[in-house]
Structure 1
Amino acid sequence: MAEAAKKARPEFRNIHVTQIARYRLPWAGKVSILHRISGALLFLLLPFILYLFELSLTSELSFAKFSDLLSHGFVKLVVLALIWGYLHHFCAGIRFLLLDVHVGVAKEKSAKSAVTVLIVSLLLTAVCGLKLFGLF
């Protein structure tokens, strides 16, 4: 009887740093990690966001400087990364709020909502990126 109880218990092992690249994380785990990365990105680039916001609102001259700054390709890529960070953080945050009230907690529904968050945030980022680069 004691042997059956020992076999029924799952065994969890820690993985080594060298095994991280091969570790298969479920979709919900990937969305969770990306949610943390997007939050850190938004936090670390907050001074840049506030600087751009100030330039866009202060005066016509500062708005011209803002427009000139946004004409550079590298700045557009940074702004696109910020757009993705915000949209992913927002969509994943809604998913996590729904999970907090026990909506979609089942494994299949959780995986489906995680994939939905990834698709929606990437599509919205693509639309904003097309507008940012003047293609839409």
Structure 2
Amino acid sequence: MKKKRPVNLDLSTIRFPLTAIASILHRISGIIIFLSIGALLWLLDLSLSSPKGFLQASLMMDNCIFKFFIWSMFSILSYHISSGIRHMMMDFDILGVTLQTGKFSAQISFLIASLLAILSGVLIW
């Protein structure tokens, strides 16, 4: 039996609510953090291997591209943490599970992550 229901395959016409965007970005940030752990552990291993390795790691930290990488990792981590706290507060029913509360908490989460990204940029540069 074939069901006749509308199928919308054009994703550019779909408008996601703010709560969905916050949830999707939380998942994407978790994946990025997981994938970048290898590079950060390699840098830690290089800096702890020998005095020469520490010098190489400190020279890499002076590179502008590497500073941007570290800043983006701090920014992604700050968003992931603030959004994770938001999700946990909603799961434990501290905030409540209404659409209005979800929108407001997503806005607060974006604001906190933006402020922490600015602060990490100031500290790195």
The TM-score by the shorter chain falls in which range? 0.7 to 0.9
C-alpha distance in 2, partners of 1:38/1:97? 16
Report the CA distance shift for 1:89/1:64 in structure 2 as closer, same or farther (over 3 A): same
User: Structure 1 length as normaliser, TM-score?
Assistant: 0.78
Show the counterpart of 1:15.
8
Note the 1:54-65 alignment, pairs <5 A: 54-65=45-56
Deviation at 1:28, TM superposition (A): 1.1
Which entry has the higher C-alpha Rg, 1 or 2?
1
Amino acid at match of 2:109: V
Give the alignment's Cα RMSD to 1 decimal.
1.9
Show the counterpart of 1:126.
118
Q: Where do 5+ consecutive residues of structure 2 fail to align?
A: none
C-alpha distance in 2, partners of 1:37/1:48? 18
Show the counterpart of 1:116.
108
Q: Where do 5+ consecutive residues of structure 1 fail to align?
A: 1-11
Note the 1:1-136 alignment, pairs <5 A: 15-16=8-9, 18=10, 20-104=11-95, 105-133=97-125
User: Structure 2 length as normaliser, TM-score?
Assistant: 0.84
- Classify the secondary structure of the residue corresponding to 1:45: helix
Percent identity between the aligned chains?
27
